Amino acid sequence: GAGVSQTPSNKVTEKGKYVELRCDPISGHTALYWYRQSLGQGPEFLIYFQGTGAADDSGLPNDRFFAVRPEGSVSTLKIQRTERGDSAVYLCASKQGPLENTEAFFGQGTRLTVV
Amino acid sequence: SQQGEEDPQALSIQEGENATMNCSYKTSINNLQWYRQNSGRGLVHLILIRSNEREKHSGRLRVTLDTSKKSSSLLITASRAADTASYFCAPGGFKTIFGAGTRLFVKA
């Protein structure tokens, strides 16, 4: 597609369940980012991929969060044993390369609600 | 990579007025970017200014960068109701980090 696509757009899950959030970056973009945003806050960095490998996962809050990008394109953010505090909008962005002076293109996000 | 801090946290103006928001950061950068976010969804890139540039224009947007003060400003001239959004700065780095942003409200 022409832009970054995130699915689903909304997800409601029960506390304790497992969820997967998907991100399809712009074709050819090697860098991919996941962010989490709570109401009234800025996007909080979670993890950054360069190709298939996680170049920086320092933002993942705990070991319930995990992300993969096995073929260097689509990425999946996985959350185990969800908690109510995980409720937020999860944003994905992609960049053309590891260069500092390139812009990030964002998807519309997945709104996760844990009840 | 580092996080920018935007100021003010919120700004309310009348349509037609200019809006100025500021960004401060801590360590040297090669560039700084500004993004806009409507309705808590995806961010949209507005403009990138390099460290060797002092000012840059794009339509009604004017961005300045003062590397000696480690600060940047975003000016929106002749604001419109459609400019109502949150604005974020991102000091340069491989890892794009965002602060809390400035929430701009333009009253029609």
The dihedrals phi and psi of A81, each to the nearest 5 degrees, come to: 45, 60
Residue B16 burial (CB count, 10 A):
11
Q: What local confidence, expressed as pLDDT, does residue B103 receive?
A: 96
B50 in contact with A at a CB cutoff of 8 Å?
Answer: yes
Cis peptide before A8 (omega within 30 of 0): yes
What is the widest separation between alpha-carbon atoms in chain A?
Answer: 41
Say if residue B94's pLDDT is above 90. no
Mean pLDDT (whole number) for A52-76: 95
The helix/strand/coil state of B72 is strand
Min Cα–Cα distance to chain A from B96, Å = 8
Give the Cα separation of B26 and B58 in Å (integer).
26
Min Cα–Cα distance to chain B from A78, Å = 20
CB-facing half-sphere around the CA of B85: CA atoms within 13 A: 18
Give the Cα separation of B2 and B52 in Å (integer).
19
Mean pLDDT (whole number) for A91-106: 83
Min Cα–Cα distance to chain A from B64, Å = 17
Q: Do A106 and B43 touch (CB under 8 A)?
A: yes
Q: Do A101 and B48 touch (CB under 8 A)?
A: yes
B40 in contact with A at a CB cutoff of 8 Å?
Answer: yes
Mean pLDDT (whole number) for A102-114: 93
Q: What local confidence, expressed as pLDDT, does residue B29 receive?
A: 87
pLDDT in tens, A18-53: 999 999 999 999 999 999 999 888 899 999 999 999
**Structural tokens at position B53:** 């540039």
Q: What local confidence, expressed as pLDDT, does residue B93 receive?
A: 67
- 8 Å CB contact between A103 and B33: yes
Give the Cα separation of B102 and B7 in Å (integer).
6
B4 in contact with A at a CB cutoff of 8 Å?
Answer: no
